Chains A and B, each alone.
Chain A
Amino acid sequence: AIQLTQSPSSLSASVGDRVTITCRASQGISSALAWYQEKPGKAPKLLICDASSLESGVPSRFSGSGSGTDFTLTISSLQPEDFATYYCQQFKTYPHIFGQGTRLEIK
């Protein structure tokens, strides 16, 4: 199965900061990568699909890039509501593995 390695596992940042989370696949997955945001007590929310396509309603401060094995999620200017846990997921082949998650905390 394709494995995903997300880094960092946790990150402290301040409102207004630019942050980047990376996700590396164990083999090439083209652009078949999604990013999700999870907040306590809520279901995960799809932010980005196909590595860089922003879902409808997701603020433009979120962006994704990459293809093949290396991917990034960038938040250009952190807002208070962005403090959450973020996961990548590959959907190139089943099983559709998730990364381990990155917990984004307020500094």
Chain B
Amino acid sequence: VQLVESGGGLVHPGGSLRLSCTASGFTFDSYTMSWVRQAPGKGLEWVSGISGSGTIKYYADSVKGRFTISRDNSRNTLYLQMNSLRVEDTAKYYCAKVKGYNYAADPLDIWGRGTMLTVSS
């Protein structure tokens, strides 16, 4: 079971970026997936989640209206489209799998290694 994030980088304030997370070793479309971030020297912040089918999406207030989570189950890939980026969005972004099969209300049992986003002018 593995999750590998990609797509991080340096972006100017107001810019956009899309993160990807490729999954392997489990039935991807049967699990809710989440994005969690960690700003440098700070704690974990849950960002967004999406049901296995992709029809139900959840967002933290801090990113609502700016970030869009999606998934392509045919490619076993999770995405996070980030628009109107702010300096405070600078963080390592982790992709994580919810533990329960076909269950959204569960903790995160598998995590990727993260991809770093820096928002700076």
- Is the pairing of A and B real? yes
Residues of A within 8 A of B (CB): 1, 32, 34, 36, 38, 43-46, 49, 55, 85, 87, 89, 91-101
B43 within 8 A of A: yes
Shortest B104–chain A CB gap in Å is 8
CB neighbours (8 Å) of A94 from chain B are: 49, 58, 104
**Bound form: Cα–Cα A98–B105 in Å:** 14
Name the residue of chain B whose CB is nearest to the CB of A92. Answer: B105
Q: A46-B108, A94-B104, A101-B44 are in contact. List 16 more A-B contacts (CB 8 A).
A: A1-B61, A32-B105, A34-B107, A36-B108, A43-B111, A43-B112, A44-B36, A44-B94, A46-B109, A49-B106, A87-B44, A92-B105, A94-B49, A96-B34, A96-B46, A98-B45
Tally of B interface residues using CB under 8 Å:
23
Residues of B within 8 A of A (CB): 34, 36, 43-46, 49, 58-61, 94, 99, 104-109, 111-114
Residue in B46, B49, B114 whose beta carbon sits within 8 Å of that of A43 in the complex: B114
Most A Cβ at <10 Å: residue of B45, B61, B94, B99: B99
Name the residue of chain A whose CB is nearest to the CB of B63. Answer: A95
**Bound form: Cα–Cα A100–B113 in Å:** 20
Residue in A46, A96, A100 whose beta carbon sits within 8 Å of that of B43 in the complex: A100
